[in-house]
Amino acid sequence: MEDKSVASDLSAFHIDLEQLKRNWRWLDAKSAPHCRTASVVKANAYGHGMFATTQSLIDAGCNIFCVATMDEAIQLRRFLDSTDTDHSKPEIICFDGLQAYELDSYYQYQIIPALKQVSEIETARDYARKINRIFPVWLQLDTGMNRLGISAAELEIWLDSTIASYSGALDIKAVMSHLSCSDMPSHHANEHHRIRFLEMSKYTPSLPLSLSASHGILLNNAYHFDITRPGIALYGYQDSPNADFACQPILQWIAPILQIRSIKKGEQVGYGADFTADKQMRIATIGAGYADGYRRALQACGKINLGGNICKPVGRISMDSFVIDVTDISETDLNKTSQVCLLGTHYSASDMAFDLSTISYEVLTSLGTRPKRVYS
Query: Would you state the pLDDT for residue 247?
Result: 96
Query: Would you state the pLDDT for residue 205?
Result: 82
How far, in Å, CA of 321 to CA of 261, rounded? 15
Fold annotation for 17-235: TIM Barrel (3.20.20)
89 as an active site residue: the answer is no
pTM over 0.95: no
Pick the CATH number of 3-13+250-375 from 3.40.50.1820, 3.40.50.150, 2.10.70.10, 2.40.37.10: 2.40.37.10
Query: Would you state the pLDDT for residue 1?
Result: 30
H-assigned helices in 61-203: 70-82, 103-108, 118-131, 152-154, 160-162, 188-201
How far, in Å, CA of 267 to CA of 285, rounded? 15
Q: What is the maximum alpha-carbon separation in the chain?
A: 82
How far, in Å, CA of 127 to CA of 65, rounded? 24
Query: Would you state the pLDDT for residue 183?
Result: 87
Query: Would you state the pLDDT for residue 5?
Result: 40
Of the residues 4, 202, 271, 336, only one is catalytic, namely: 271
Query: Would you state the pLDDT for residue 62?
Result: 97
Q: Cα dihedral sign for 132, 93, 61, 213?
A: negative
**How does strand 251-263 pair with strand 3-5?**
antiparallel
Q: Cα dihedral sign for 80, 81, 84, 89?
A: positive
Query: Would you state the pLDDT for residue 101?
Result: 74
Give every CB contact of residue 9 below 8 A, 6+ residues apart in sequence: 254, 256, 339
Q: DSSP label at 95?
A: T
101 as an active site residue: the answer is no
Query: Would you state the pLDDT for residue 2?
Result: 37
Of the residues 42, 116, 173, 303, only one is catalytic, namely: 42
Tens digit of each residue's pLDDT, the chain (376 residues): 333 344 346 899 999 999 999 999 999 999 999 999 999 999 999 999 999 999 999 999 999 999 999 999 999 999 999 986 555 689 999 999 998 778 999 999 999 999 999 889 989 999 999 999 999 999 999 998 999 999 988 887 776 556 666 778 999 999 999 999 888 888 999 999 999 999 998 888 889 999 999 999 999 999 999 999 999 999 999 987 766 899 999 999 999 999 999 999 999 999 999 999 999 999 999 999 999 999 999 999 999 999 999 999 999 999 999 999 999 999 888 988 899 999 999 999 999 999 999 999 999 999 999 999 999 9
Q: What is the dihedral of CA 315, 321, 326, 330, to 10 degrees?
A: -170
Domain boundaries, the chain: 3-13+250-375, 17-235
